[in-house]
Chain A
């Protein structure tokens, strides 16, 4: 399986040849079924309207830096499936609507901001404008955004986006994580000790934290 497009300077290709799915024969049946279902989710959306889907898709691409072309994690489809099944995290802030409604409201609000800024809805705005609009929500912190607390909207967006993206073998692959580990387990424990199927980072000095990215 080829990797997600990500340039080397931003963490791409750190684990050359590491292929998570090539190890799937070592996974148990129940796990394999759950993980493989994520690879090709149903593309017919059940929760988002076409307009909402366009906005949400563009938002996810911004939040997760996914270009429109090449290998992709189907974040929009995975989130839509969650919302259609009302699979929430089991809580909501008193000041926020229920998650599915909060998604609808926040996507409409994002479109409204976009139209106000450039005349186009969010998905039609240029990437730089989209990024600025997203950044503006984050910058509000605990301030109010379209009658919601911006930080709680941010929490909703990033929780759903990250849960979908980092549940995918392609995302694990770019972080050197082999995914399911039952029944095989790990045998080489300790700092700098790898299993035969693990691949060492070829850019150990590429420390995004230090580079101040």
Chain B
């Protein structure tokens, strides 16, 4: 498995050796860079009556990171995922419509004055979670994100600050790993891997930004510029959002799950967890109820971690009501499901006489955080980031159709695809109590109430979207576009079970431990009190890695040596 090349690589790059020492995942793929199915075949299995140290519900960004860290700490662990244990070569396709199975497509209901579509845009299913089909942008939050209420009078203050997360940002950036320019915004930092080459779309963005006096940089992207362990180099095929068959783009399936398996974790895929079981007498969680082949089981555990993301985590808690928690688990203060956020994500496209062919190369190429912070000269608080996005035909058709085109006009404009460049903004929408998940009347195929998600924008949200659109139009026109068009949409989900200083302001504390149940943790995007204008994956993984460290530190008696 290991080769002389790897050994020499470690010698010339001590940083790489350190990464391998704490997380060997990239070296646990086959030498050809494929997911090594023998790890799954050889994995450890636990019985329901075994009280494992921890069960983790959801094997995405937060859950997989948690599993890997706790297994490294010597804990016995079982990870559940409602979806499959993917084999990228066999299960994923280099095709837009064929990627449908990567999304959570169980029924959900959306409402509010600005309903947010779910599914392909912001949900995942299967081991690796939605990072399987995220673009791959992995910016950090800015230090200001942790105190927006104190500084700007909007949003919320976190119980932890940037300095608490910084070492974990650095660690996860090493493990993904990340390629990009030196980063001047927020807490300035650099990346281990030099920026990727840019394609037509990135070229247009950088040219337009330069011409309009806006600083834009390449990255930060979770695709190594070069080989990384056994992971191959990117082939620039442009299907990042359909799952990376190459295994060049990072997702927990290849960045944390292999090492977790090698350290004794059991992954139970295709297994839906239906409830967290709490002993009403002691007030402690005793495990989780789950369905396998239609039969309900209870897996006992010393500690329960929920990492189902912003819709399914609140849904699971609300569906876990008991005598002690009649309104839903951890919901004594009516906070579960609330303060859920999406980012306003308008996409503006520009038309060029030249051929941009934006579908070539990964959609995540370049970005700007120049408008991220509150600008005192503007009527709104907080800001937005601008990034390259490169819609494939179906998504592009949605973009064109949103302008009102259908029939001959739609076909004509679609035939013009190669001439268009497309940018996207991420606007920091503010947390609001009424933007929330509740249980709908409707039941899923297991008979469980499905999630209902209501969303309504506030004035600040709308002002940000308008400002972001203007900046994107400026950039594209400065690059030479003579026609522009914008589609209004949303991206990402965070919040819904946020962290707070105490039980009246948050569901969990800064270490992701629930206030209501001492051995229940939530380690996914739902704990974020604010979201900045950053794609959330890196922050979710870093919060999970930190929470794992705190859990291990709080329980020093359990060490690998003990086992």
Which of B355, B398, B411, B482 is in CB contact (< 8 Å) with A191? B355
B residues within 8 A CB of A92?
A: 107-110
Taking a contact as CB atoms under 8 Å apart, the answer to whether A93 and B115 are in contact is: yes
Q: Does B171 contact A (CB under 8 A)?
A: no
Specify which of B119, B359, B415 lies most central, judged by the most chain A CB atoms within 10 Å of its CB.
B415
Contacts of A213 in B (CB 8 A): 408-409, 412-413
Tell me whether B418 and A201 are in contact (CB under 8 A).
yes
List, in ascending order, chain B residues with CB within 8 A of A25's CB: none
Tell yes or no: B204 within 8 A of A by CB. Answer: yes
The answer to whether B394 and A10 touch across the interface, beta carbons within 8 angstroms, is: no
Q: Which A residues lie within 8 Å of B92 (CB)?
A: 30
Cβ-based interface call for B270 (8 A): no
List B contacts of A204 (CB < 8 A).
Answer: 353-355, 419
Please tell me if A28 contacts chain B, counting CB pairs below 8 Å: yes
Interface size on B, residues (CB 8 A): 76
By the criterion CB–CB under 8 Å, are B111 and A93 in contact? yes
Tell me whether B485 and A162 are in contact (CB under 8 A): no
Interface check B429, CB cutoff 8 A: no
| Inter-subunit contact A28/B107 (CB<8 Å) | no
Say if the beta carbon of A74 comes within 8 Å of chain B.
no
Enumerate chain B residues within 8 angstroms of A62, measured Cβ to Cβ: 406-407
In angstroms, Cα B324 to Cα A48, docked, is 48
What 0/1 readout, one digit per residue, does chain A (36-64) give for beta carbons within 8 Å of chain B? 00100000000000000000000000111
| A185–B351 CA distance with the chains assembled, in angstroms | 25
* Stretch from B56-64, B93-101, B150-158, B542-550 forming part of the interface with A: B93-101
The residue that A182 contacts in the complex, of B235, B410, B417, with Cβ under 8 A, is B235
Contacts of A184 in B (CB 8 A): 235, 237
Q: Is the interface of B mostly helix, strand, loop or mixed?
A: loop
Assuming the contacts A30-B89, A34-B98, A193-B200, asked whether A172 and B393 have C-beta atoms less than 8 A apart, the reply is yes
Q: Is the CB–CB distance between A167 and B111 below 8 Å?
A: no
Is A136 part of the contact surface with B, judged by Cβ < 8 Å?
no
Measured in the bound complex, the distance between the Cα atoms of B454 and A95 in whole Å is: 12
Distance (Å) between the CB of A11 and the closest chain B CB?
3
CB-defined contacts of A165 to chain B, threshold 8 Å: 397
Asked if A113 is at the interface (CB within 8 A of a chain B CB), the reply is no
In angstroms, Cα B502 to Cα A201, docked, is: 61
Residues of A contacting B104 in the complex (Cβ-Cβ under 8 angstroms)? 90
Residues on B with beta carbons closer than 8 Å to the beta carbon of A65? 407-408, 410-411
- B95 to chain A minimum Cβ distance, whole angstroms, is 5
Give bound CA distance, A90 to B451, whole Å: 11
Q: Using A6-B415, A182-B235, A209-B413 as known contacts, say yes or no to A89 and B120 having CB atoms under 8 A apart.
A: yes
The reply to whether A98 and B107 contact each other, CB–CB distance below 8 Å, is yes
Task: Bits for B417-434, please: 1 = Cβ < 8 Å to A, else 0.
Answer: 111000000000000000
Cα A108 to Cα B352 in complex, Å, equals 43
**Which residue on A lies nearest to B360, using beta carbons?**
A186
The distance in angstroms between the C-alpha atoms of A194 and B106, with both chains bound, is 40
Contact B394 A190 (CB under 8 A): no
Within the complex, the shortest CB–CB distance from A42 to chain B, in Å, comes to 17
Interface stretch, picked from B238-246, B329-337, B374-382, is B238-246
Interface string of A147-185 (1 = CB under 8 A from B): 000000000001100111111000110111101111111
Taken together as a complex, chains A and B put the C-alpha atoms of A11 and B409 apart, in Å, by 9
For A12, A34, A90, which residue has the most chain B Cβ atoms within 10 angstroms? A90
- Inside 8 A of B407's CB, which chain A residues have their CB? 62-65, 131, 134
Residues of A within 8 A of B413 (CB): 11, 208-209, 213
CB distance from A141 to the nearest CB of B (A): 10
Residue of B with least CB distance to A98: B107
Q: How far is the CB of B286 from chain A (nearest CB, A)?
A: 32
* A205 vs B330: C-alpha distance when bound (angstroms): 61
Instruction: Identify 29 residue pairs between A and B in the complex whose beta-carbon atoms are under 8 Å apart, listed by A's number.
Output: A10-B415, A30-B92, A63-B410, A88-B105, A89-B120, A90-B106, A92-B110, A134-B407, A158-B401, A163-B394, A165-B397, A166-B393, A166-B394, A166-B396, A167-B98, A171-B393, A176-B418, A181-B237, A182-B239, A183-B235, A185-B246, A189-B197, A189-B236, A190-B199, A207-B416, A207-B482, A207-B483, A208-B416, A210-B483
Having A163-B397, A180-B93, A191-B354, one finds 17 other A-B pairs with CB under 8 Å, namely A6-B411, A11-B412, A11-B414, A30-B89, A34-B95, A93-B110, A94-B115, A163-B97, A166-B393, A185-B234, A189-B197, A189-B361, A192-B355, A198-B357, A201-B419, A207-B416, A209-B351
Give me the interface of A with B, judged by CB distance under 8 Å: 6, 10-12, 14, 27-28, 30-31, 34-35, 38, 62-65, 87-95, 98, 131, 134, 138, 158-159, 162-167, 171-172, 174-177, 179-194, 198, 200-201, 204-210, 213
